[in-house]
Amino acid sequence: MGVPAFFRWLSRKYPSIVVHCVEEKGKEYNGVRIPVDTTRPNPNEVEFDNLYLDMNGIIHPCTHPEDKPAPKNEDEMMVAIFEYIDRLFNIVRPRRVLYMAIDGVAPRAKMNQQRSRRFRASKEGVELTEEKNRMREEVIQRGGYLPPEEVKERFDSNCITPGTEFMDNLAQCLRYYVADRLSNDPGWKNVTVLLSDASVPGEGEHKIMDYIRRQRAQPNHDPNTHHCLCGADADLIMLGLATHEPNFTIIREEFKPNKPRPCALCGQMGHELKECTGAAREKQGEHDEFANTMPVSEQEFIFIRLCVLREYLTRELTMSSLPFPFDFERSVDDWVFMCFFVGNDFLPHLPSLEIREGAIDRLVGIYKDVVHKTGGYLTQNGFVNLERVELIMQAVGVAEDNIFRKRKDDDESFKRRMKDKKKRMKAEQQRPSFLSSGQFAPQALGRGGRPEPVHNARHQAFNMRVQNMDAAQSLKAMMKNGGNSAGPSADRGMKRKAEDSDSEPEPEDNVRLWEDGWKQRYYKTKFDVDATDDEFKKKVVKSYVEGLCWVLRYYYQGCASWKWYFPFHYAPFASDFKDIKDMFTEFETDTKPFKPLEQLMGVFPAASGNFLPQTWRNLMSNPESSIIDFYPDDFAIDLNGKKYAWQGVALLPFVDERRLRAALADVYPELTQEEMKRNSLGSDVLFLGKSHPLFDFIHELYRTETTEVTDIPPELCHGILGKLNLDQNPILPEKTVQSPIPALRDVAQNSSIGVRFRDPEFPAGHVFKAVMLPGAKIPANTLKPEDFQQSGRQWRPQLGFNPNRQQAHLGQSGQRALNHSLGRGGGQYSNAPPPGNYQNYNRGQQHYPSPRQSSLLGEPPYQQPYQRQSYGGGAHGWGRANQNQHNAYQQNSNRGHSQGGYQQQQQQQQQYGQYNQRGGGGGGGQGYNTGRGGYPAPPPSRRYN
């Protein structure tokens, strides 16, 4: 969903919802890779029933990754997608259902955003190419060195759209992948696999939600099914809450900001394209064997526990003294609805509501007052009570003027802080230019350390040459000014550089929401109408109200209309929501989605026309085309008060569906048979292994060649209901499945079977109830009173679902060995403590072991502040501590010998050890468990698998 900061806000406000995944890795012996046995219990100490994959969140990072080299060809992309799914299956280990959903043709309301994204991607690709060519010329003119430009075809990510050859090939590859895993992986043998490819209309996550809605409406549904949904979009959290399933978890990649990326020009790390100087590349490895590799770290995953989020919301939304019984499920639906106001994929957010400014908290506070006044909730089963929504909008509208003024004040305050920070950093970096740096930099006498080692001699020599040139110029200036390098004539007549300017150039803001008259300027600038035009404002508000009703219906009941969309680039103000009770009646019924090639014509720029048939492509570029205005070569981006272009509004013309269909009617007859197949709508496919209880039933359908649609016996398939129909190109047992990827072998011993699947059907007008099902067991509460405190406590990540997971202990000797291996021992940093908290670990520049890896070895060094134990009393240090221990041991040993018994000697030594652990050793030395610093006593030895 279009709320870039939503997950960041949610995870900071409710930190305990996040759990780090424990992932078991495969092993390798004598060059033979041994995969993970996924039939074993889940190492996260929770068993999932169903795993749902929003495949577009997997396809994009596998085809054009940002933090590692891109695949060389389409085959490598497919293999990367297979490996990604394998990792997720290994972490989650579903026992019943695996549902893979690829985005199909989207509703018209979504196509506006898709069109904006694809036009932006094309525009940014052209601008990047032009910038690279310009920088290459500048660097070469300065005498820098750049590797020869590689001639390779750029991967156009716009091909990840329904109707392209790439998506058709992906569907075939996934069919092969499922057949291979069902035939060869024991962990898949009893799993029902559902594949909904790009030929099936609907967004991937909403196809998943539609499946869950329809299954939970059946009498055979298990209300305690544990769902796990994979995807990075923020709207998955809303969708998970909207199911009202008690056990719903989301798995997603852990976001790590500020990942290093190579320069797009020279391929080196440490600088961006605009900072490239063409310096010689450093040697990678002893023999430069790592020249073409990037330093990558494997992406880690986290769980988002919606059951814990429901605990937080219970405390947040519970209202007392209501004139009616409080219904938590209804309040959750209202919370989901209020989140739509800060942004989503279908509507622009209201100007006065920014999630970074606490907009959701503001709405919740207003919401509680409205519920008390009106005696009812805002929504029910996906239908909106507009009369109550108007009261919330009016309450926000009253505060709009103050919100805009405070936003301006906060922005100015932030700029002042950043300006002061830059000045401090610049002052710290300033020093005479003739002083050496790096290996030959002056060292403080009391520093007690060694000079910094030379990591890259070539690069440092280059820097020294540049520095020497600067030093020579500085000395010349001093001689001209009579020895004063900072004389008044030094800067006379010199133009100040842009980076030395006190303030950065900002985009012009003609609206100025913080000044009086902001509403008049907004409507004049954004809509080109006068603010006194009440009819136009009412039209915008009416469309926005329809959008709110459409989005909520989409989340709770499915797509209400495939044709509806919001026909403006900007949203109205909250204060404009007046008399909205009767603005919406009902959506047009019996609407149909676009076909795949029709959608491509609606969302693609002319630069991506190569994915379309030739005759269709001409409609995008021919000046005589009747729809040429849909495909501008360039377009404006309105920052709309933002700082970066990706946050702005792409001012593209909206596609007129009637004009588009009329233009396509002339070129439809020229489609080939293959193109007509790609342009048709398909259905889901269900796959099973030979050991599945439903296998024989489906096999019999193929043996008898039945043409009738057959119901699934729910007792044979974990209570799943639906319709089955024979596939035209089926995967059958004992029939070889050809590999579409040359590097992978065919599935010769296939033991899987596939059949078309359709969700259960309901009569028109059926309403799915947004309630907790009877028999559902609410998970036990996991939050403690201190978990609700917003400050004053240090948050630590939890590994797996068991909060009491025992961890091995890494003692002091282990800590010293670890520090030595990391280069942290000895020298000036020998007494430096590890990082203090998890946030510093994520943000820091030093490389520490992953928390998920360290947990198997012991307590990570950053989870406890390190304090040197004082064994000898006072501040005498390790020498006195060792001497006291040695003397005490000799004394006890002599006592043992004088009493003439080896057993007695051992008993006394054990007593000494117990006494010393209690802190009673000689000299006041501390033991392990005094609670005044140091490390806890190591637990009994145990084996970790």
Give tens-digit pLDDT for 21-79: 999 988 888 888 888 999 999 999 999 999 999 999 999 999 988 777 788 899 999 99
Residue showing tokens 């080299």: 69
Is 627 exposed, middle or buried (CB count within 10 Å of its CB: 0-12, 13-18, 19+)?
middle
Q: Which residues of 495-529 are buried (b: 16+ CB within 10 A; e: fewer)?
A: eeeeeeeeeeeeeeeebebbeeebbebbbeebbee
* pLDDT for 149 beyond 60: yes
Stretch 568-577: mean pLDDT: 93
Identify the pLDDT of residue 378: 93
* pLDDT for 854 beyond 90: no
Stretch 584-610: mean pLDDT: 91
pLDDT digit string, tens, across residues 83-101? 999 999 999 999 999 999 9
* pLDDT for 295 beyond 70: no
Stretch 312-332: mean pLDDT: 90
* pLDDT for 208 beyond 60: yes
* pLDDT for 128 beyond 70: yes
User: Angle CA(434)–CA(437)–CA(443) in degrees, nearest 5?
Assistant: 105
Please tell me the distance from the alpha carbon of residue 827 to that of residue 786, in angstroms, as a whole number.
Answer: 41
* pLDDT for 174 beyond 80: yes
Instruction: Tell me if 1 sits within 8 A of 235, measured CB to CB.
Output: yes
Instruction: Tell me if 179 sits within 8 A of 752, measured CB to CB.
Output: yes
Structure tokens at 335: 């919370």
* pLDDT for 897 beyond 70: no
| Residue 106 pLDDT class (50, 70, 90 cuts) | very high
Most confident of 495-504, 636-645, 648-657: 648-657
Identify the pLDDT of residue 63: 92
Task: Identify the weakest region by mean pLDDT among 204-208, 213-217, 578-582.
Answer: 578-582
Please tell me the distance from the alpha carbon of residue 663 to that of residue 682, in angstroms, as a whole number.
Answer: 25
Identify the pLDDT of residue 26: 87
Identify the pLDDT of residue 287: 59
Task: Identify the weakest region by mean pLDDT among 205-219, 770-784, 931-945.
Answer: 931-945
pLDDT digit string, tens, across residues 694-718? 999 999 999 998 888 999 999 999 8
* pLDDT for 680 beyond 90: yes
Longest distance between any two alpha carbons in the chain, whole Å: 112
Q: What is the DSSP code string of 193-260?
A: EEEE-TTS-S-HHHHHHHHHHHHHTSTT--TT--EEEE---THHHHHHHHHT-SSEEEEEEPP-SS--
3-state secondary structure of 303: strand
pLDDT digit string, tens, across residues 535-548? 999 999 999 999 99
Identify the pLDDT of residue 788: 77
Stretch 325-344: mean pLDDT: 92
Is 893 exposed, middle or buried (CB count within 10 Å of its CB: 0-12, 13-18, 19+)?
middle
Identify the pLDDT of residue 569: 93
Identify the pLDDT of residue 493: 43
* pLDDT for 896 beyond 60: no
Q: Which residues contact 320 (CB under 8 A, 6 or more apart)?
A: 326
* pLDDT for 553 beyond 90: yes
- Residue 521 CA from chain centroid, whole number: 37
Stretch 222-231: mean pLDDT: 95
Q: What is the DSSP code string of 722-788?
A: -EEE--SS---TTS-B--SSTTS--BTT--EEEEEEEPPP--TT-----SPPTTPPPPPP---GGGG
Identify the pLDDT of residue 48: 96
| Residue 871 pLDDT class (50, 70, 90 cuts) | very low
Please tell me the distance from the alpha carbon of residue 481 to that of residue 474, in angstroms, as a whole number.
Answer: 11
Tell me the β-bridge partners of 754.
Answer: 687
Stretch 581-588: mean pLDDT: 88
Identify the pLDDT of residue 919: 41
Identify the pLDDT of residue 21: 92
Tell me the β-bridge partners of 101.
Answer: 54, 196
Identify the pLDDT of residue 824: 54
Most confident of 411-415, 494-498, 682-686, 763-767: 682-686
Please tell me the distance from the alpha carbon of residue 168 to that of residue 171, in angstroms, as a whole number.
Answer: 5
Structure tokens at 934: 């140091």
Q: What is the CA radius of gyration of the chain?
A: 33
pLDDT digit string, tens, across residues 490-526? 444 444 444 444 455 666 778 888 889 999 999 999 9
Identify the pLDDT of residue 282: 65
Identify the pLDDT of residue 839: 40
Identify the pLDDT of residue 264: 72
Task: Identify the weakest region by mean pLDDT among 432-441, 515-524, 744-753.
Answer: 432-441
Mean pLDDT of all residues belonging to the chain: 79
Task: Identify the weakest region by mean pLDDT among 449-453, 530-534, 816-820, 857-861.
Answer: 857-861
* pLDDT for 835 beyond 50: no
* Neighbouring C-alpha atoms within 13 Å toward the C-beta of 572: 26
Ramachandran region, residue 598 (left: φ > 0; alpha: ψ -120 to 50; beta: rest): alpha
Instruction: Tell me if 722 sits within 8 A of 210, measured CB to CB.
Output: no
Please tell me the distance from the alpha carbon of residue 652 to that of residue 115, in angstroms, as a whole number.
Answer: 8
Q: Which residues contact 117 (CB under 8 A, 6 or more apart)?
A: none
3-state secondary structure of 601: helix
Identify the pLDDT of residue 465: 67
